[in-house]
Amino acid sequence: MTGTLLKVRDLRIGATIYPPGAAAEDIEIVHGVSFDLERGKVLGLIGESGAGKSTIGLASLAYGRGGVRITGGEVHLNGRDILSLGPKGHRDLRGAEVSYVSQSAAASFNPSKPILQQVTEATIRHGRLSAREAEARAIDLFRQLGLPEPETIGQRYPHQVSGGQLQRCMTALALCPKPDLVVFDEPTTALDVTTQIDVLKAIKDAIAATGVAALYITHDLAVVAQVSDEIMVLRNGATVEHGTAEQIISAPQEAYTQALVSVRSTQNPARTGPATPVVEIRNVSARYKGLDADIVSDISVELVPGRTLAVVGESGSGKSTLARVLTGLLPPREGKILFEGRALAREYDARPRDDLREIQMIYQMADVAMNPRQNVGTIIGRPLEFYFGMKGSEKVRRVRELLDAIDLGAEFADRYPAELSGGQKQRVCIARALAAKPKVIICDEVTSALDPLVAEGILKLLLDLQTAEGVAYMFITHDLATVRAIADTIAVMHRGKIVRYGPKPQVLSPPFDDYTDLLLGSVPEMRIGWLEEVIARRKMESAGH
């Protein structure tokens, strides 16, 4: 069967917001979006946070999350306007004709019921299949999605399977009632990059095998390019550009789309050559109290003034623990840390004030890294006062200089963190670190919580400041694109150990060890057909072994 499945016309969505210290206010968050989706096709919705992509996705189930309401326009599914259906009509629609896959499967499964029961529930309740047929279909889907032990995995409870497996179970849940449309809302965003590739492939194959149409929502253009026939780029609740996946990737028309496509291509040449390290971490092992295994073991790396060491690894690899060891929050069990040739105290509260000043830290979540009750002037001014005893006009002048350095105006000194955007918050955190005039700055996933374009601005700022101040960065990240952009040397961490360490060109070129090969090969590339190539190559390799 072909033809138009989903027709959205001039969709308008509103929400009630509660700004601090003011009365509740109704705002429009989606401003008249229109598109069509053919049966069996996949449309990718892409945009930064606040673009309205999830809201549009949920509108095709006639659902508004929290205080969100659909205020205007039409959504036609299978030829009828689903917005005008009553509550009963909506219930008959959801979980039958349209289903939904959310970002966090771990939270979206009921913790107290077995998986199979939840996967087949909608199918049975809507009378799409009998209980026995639904179970058989669920097991088929489990098999198709590459889950281990498809016959019995459904008897398990959500906490008994891994995150990647649960995300596939969620896909099975959505596909089980044989819907016409599935809305995938960032289904792989919460997964590690090496897990993401398998889940992505499983979802893509399942879509192809069942012939279902899909809306695929994500902020990652490289991911959406692998699964979509068409792509729609959204920004601030309006369409920027809509075209075939091929056209959007290879010939974007709008400036915003062009920026999104090229965002990952920045690459700085590595600065290498002999230099005197400012920090040497030597054979460090550490574990948390009460654990009987090391979280990081036998780590040796060096930080060089004016250069960046990128520590890369997946969640649980120990990269953030390494940062905690360097700051003295977690004293090492073995090994030592040298600063300009002399040993640093193991614990931070045993370090003299000047040692603390020399190593500063910038956090992933700028939101919680600043006291919400202090204004920007106080936040940046405190290190000046604390380390250098600056007061009065001298402090004000220096705060203004620092605000200039991070491209914010002097008027920001009076603002509170809640009044800043995500990127501005991270800039203030950078200024706070710089205020201490440190020799080393640890950047812990500083761009992971930011939208790609904002993140790129932050990276550029960090590089500029490094050139000006000659500070050494230890850059902790899971994102290889970031590593390519800013690293001079790279340490790849896996299960608490460094598996590869050296100058960037060397680390990123073959011959690879197994893990680095897997990691590098798993980062989605912004071209169509990449997913198939990688999977095919891996199959060949494993056949060859």
Partner 1 sequence: MTRIPIPALFGLVFTGLFFAMAVLAPLIAPYGPAEIVGDVWEPASADHLMGTDNIGRDLLTRMIYGGRTTILVATLATVISFVTGACLGLFAAVIGGWVDQALSRFVDLMMSIPTLIFALVVLSVMPVTLPVLIVVMGLLDATRVYRLSRAVAVDITVMDFVEAARLRGEGRGWIVFREILPNALSPLVAEMGLRFIFMVLFVSTLSFLGLGVQPPAADWGGIVKENKDGIVYGIGAALWPAAAIATLAISVNLVADWVLGRTTSLKGGRG
Partner 2 sequence: MNRIILRILAQRIALSLLLLLLVSVLIFAGTQILPGDVAASILGQSATPEALANLREELGLNAPAWQRYFDWLGGLLQGDLGRSLTNGRDIGEAIGQRLSNTLFLATTAAVIAVPLAIFLGLVSVLYRDRWPDKLISALSLAAVSVPEFLIGYILMFWVGVQLGWAPSVAILNDTMTFWERLHAITLPVAVLTMVVLAHMMRMTRAAILNVMQSPYIETAELKGLGTFAVIWRHALPNAISPVVNVVMLNLAYLVVGVVVVEVVFVYPGMGQFLVDHVSKRDVPVVQACGLIFASVYILLNMVADIVSILANPRLRHPK
Give whichever of 242 and 432 is closer to partner 1, judged by the CB atom.
432
Interface with partner 1 includes 342 (CB under 8 A)? no
Contacts of partner 1 in 102-121 (CB under 8 A): none
Q: For residues 97 and 89, give the distance between their C-alpha atoms in angstroms, rounded to a whole number.
A: 11
Q: For residues 474 and 355, give the distance between their C-alpha atoms in angstroms, rounded to a whole number.
A: 16
Interface with partner 2 includes 65 (CB under 8 A)? yes
Nearest alpha carbon to residue 224 among 171, 174, 184, 167: 184
Interface with partner 1 includes 23 (CB under 8 A)? yes
Q: For residues 216 and 103, give the distance between their C-alpha atoms in angstroms, rounded to a whole number.
A: 11
Q: For residues 543 and 545, give the distance between their C-alpha atoms in angstroms, rounded to a whole number.
A: 6
Question: Among the candidate windows 39-47, 121-129, 311-319, 370-378, which touches partner 1 by CB under 8 A?
Answer: 370-378
Give the three-class secondary structure for 513.
coil
Give whichever of 419 and 532 is closer to partner 1, judged by the CB atom.
419
Tell me, residue by residue from 167 to 186, as one string, x for binding to partner 2 by CB under 8 A and - for no binding. Answer: ------x-------------
CB of 111 to partner 2, least distance (A): 5
271 Rama class: left (phi>0) / alpha (psi -120 to 50) / beta:
beta
Question: Among the candidate windows 135-143, 178-186, 355-363, 466-474, which touches partner 1 by CB under 8 A?
Answer: 355-363
Q: Note whether 490 and 484 are within 8 A (CB).
A: no
Choose which of 84, 152, 160, 262 interacts with partner 2 (CB under 8 A): 160
Q: For residues 417 and 419, give the distance between their C-alpha atoms in angstroms, rounded to a whole number.
A: 5
Q: For residues 485 and 462, give the distance between their C-alpha atoms in angstroms, rounded to a whole number.
A: 11
Q: Note whether 444 and 361 are within 8 A (CB).
A: yes
Tell me, residue by residue from 83 to 122, as one string, x for binding to partner 2 by CB under 8 A and - for no binding. Answer: -------xxxxxxx--xx-x-x--xxxxxxx----x--xx
Q: What is the DSSP letter of 268?
A: P
Rounded to the nearest 5°, which phi and psi values hold at 462? -60, -40
303 CB neighbour count, 10 Å cutoff: 24
Q: For residues 189 and 185, give the distance between their C-alpha atoms in angstroms, rounded to a whole number.
A: 9
Sign of the CA dihedral running 297, 300, 306, 312: negative
Interface with partner 2 includes 125 (CB under 8 A)? yes
Interface with partner 1 includes 350 (CB under 8 A)? no
Q: What is the DSSP letter of 333?
A: S
Choose which of 12, 31, 156, 460 interacts with partner 2 (CB under 8 A): 156
CB of 264 to partner 1, least distance (A): 27
Give whichever of 130 and 371 is closer to partner 1, judged by the CB atom.
371
Question: Which of partner 2, partner 1, none does residue 329 bind (CB under 5 to 8 Å by kind)?
Answer: partner 1
**Encoded amino acid at 388, one letter:** F
Question: Which of partner 2, partner 1, none does residue 93 bind (CB under 5 to 8 Å by kind)?
Answer: partner 2
Tell me, residue by residue from 58 to 97, as one string, x for binding to partner 1 by CB under 8 A and - for no binding. Answer: ----------------------------------------
Tell me the two tokens of residue 208.
């192809």
Contacts of partner 1 in 378-397 (CB under 8 A): 382-383, 386-387
Sign of the CA dihedral running 283, 285, 483, 444: negative
Distance of CA 241 to the CA centre of its chain: 23
Tell me, residue by residue from 290 to 329, as one string, x for binding to partner 1 by CB under 8 A and - for no binding. Answer: -------------------------------------xxx
Question: Which of partner 2, partner 1, none does residue 288 bind (CB under 5 to 8 Å by kind)?
Answer: none
Nearest alpha carbon to residue 264 among 527, 528, 530, 533: 527
Q: What angle do CA 411, 415, 417 make, to 5 degrees?
A: 135
CB of 442 to partner 1, least distance (A): 10
CB of 420 to partner 1, least distance (A): 12
The site for partner 1 (CB under 8 A) is made up of 18, 20-23, 327-329, 348-349, 351, 353, 356-357, 360-361, 363, 365, 367-374, 382-383, 386-387, 416, 418, 432, 436
The site for partner 2 (CB under 8 A) is made up of 61, 63, 65, 90-96, 99-100, 102, 104, 107-113, 118, 121-122, 125-126, 156-157, 159-160, 173
